[in-house]
Amino acid sequence: MISVVMPVYNAEKYLNEAIESILTQTYDDFEFIILNDGSTDRSEEIILSYNDARIVYIKNETNLQIVKTLNKGVAVAKGKYIARMDADDISLPQRFEKQIQCMEGNPHIAICGTHIQIFGDKRYTLSYPLNDMEIKAKLLFNTALGHATILAKTEIFQKFQYDEEYNKSEDYELWTRLLLEYQASNIPELLYEYRYHATQTCTIHKKKQDNMACSIREKYLTNLGNTFHQDEIEILGKINRKEFTPYHTMHTLLTKFIQLDNNHFNKTALEEIFHEEYWLMLNANIYLNLPCYFAYREFNKYSNYKLSLKDKIKFYLKFWLKYRRNAKEET
């Protein structure tokens, strides 16, 4: 039923935990495709130490990097579904069982993800939009599916594949193409643990990554037949990067999206995701004091985004503490 695709590159420190979290799943009808991408540490030794018939071992003689290696794993997959896994993370025991239930019970869904627990050097949770319309709206800002958490129909994955031009943003780019034709869902449970640690490989410069994300948003809209100016697309990027944006600027752009004549976006989902992203941006810019406060006033007055009393109190407290601190520093 499932082909698990896990690339490995110099992952000896955490590889045992990753492998065992897959082999001990409560749902066990799977093949486990482990692709050693030219590792120079003990990764191969660790992989070969497991005597489990479900493991399919593939070795790249040289380092092909993540996108080529993923496509290689997807191409040989025999299961009805493909599951992703990273070599330094942990899949919780019921992950596959619950994702199979979701996919088999909803045949119109092509891809299913889960929420993520970050652990290690940092600890917090990552929650994603649950239904297809919210996921498609969220893609205007950033990825809306936890890459390593997904379970997807193999025939669809093999049809689309990852684009090698978008190394390190390959998942975001793939979702914007795949979800033009198909539907997605996220299970509202923490079924995957993502390890945050100082030795993680991150070879791409942040500015280049931001430019790549902007290119993906532009291509997403173009493929839908929608024309947006570069500065409008950049507003989406600014809000996603938590750069301060006046409320009327965001609201004008939202209105344009709502008025689009296509069936891809849903008005309610657009409003929810836009305002959720804007609220996160406001909280990241409280240090700006009055500009942020006035933007919050507009946001709270004109948006339909329901803030809890707790959220409002926390915002006011943080704002006044920052405001008073800055006033003291100025005097």
CA distance 2 to 84: 10
Q: What confidence score (pLDDT) does residue 203 get? A: 45
Burial class from Cβ neighbours inside 10 Å (0-12, 13-18, 19+) for residue 218 reads: middle
Q: What confidence score (pLDDT) does residue 331 get? A: 62
Residues of the chain with pLDDT under 50: 201, 203
Give yes or no for a contact between 146 and 86, defined as CB atoms under 8 angstroms apart. Answer: no
285: tokens are 């810019």
Q: What confidence score (pLDDT) does residue 280 get? A: 95
Within 181-229, residue ranges assigned H as helices are 206-223
The distance of Cα 116 from the centroid of its chain, to the nearest Å, equals 10
Give yes or no for a contact between 85 and 157, defined as CB atoms under 8 angstroms apart. Answer: no
CA distance 49 to 93: 22
128: tokens are 């994603």
- Beta-bridged to residue 35, according to DSSP, are 7, 58
CA distance 149 to 317: 36
- CA-based nearest residue to 66, from 46, 52, 86, 50: 86
Q: What confidence score (pLDDT) does residue 325 get? A: 81
CA distance 157 to 165: 17
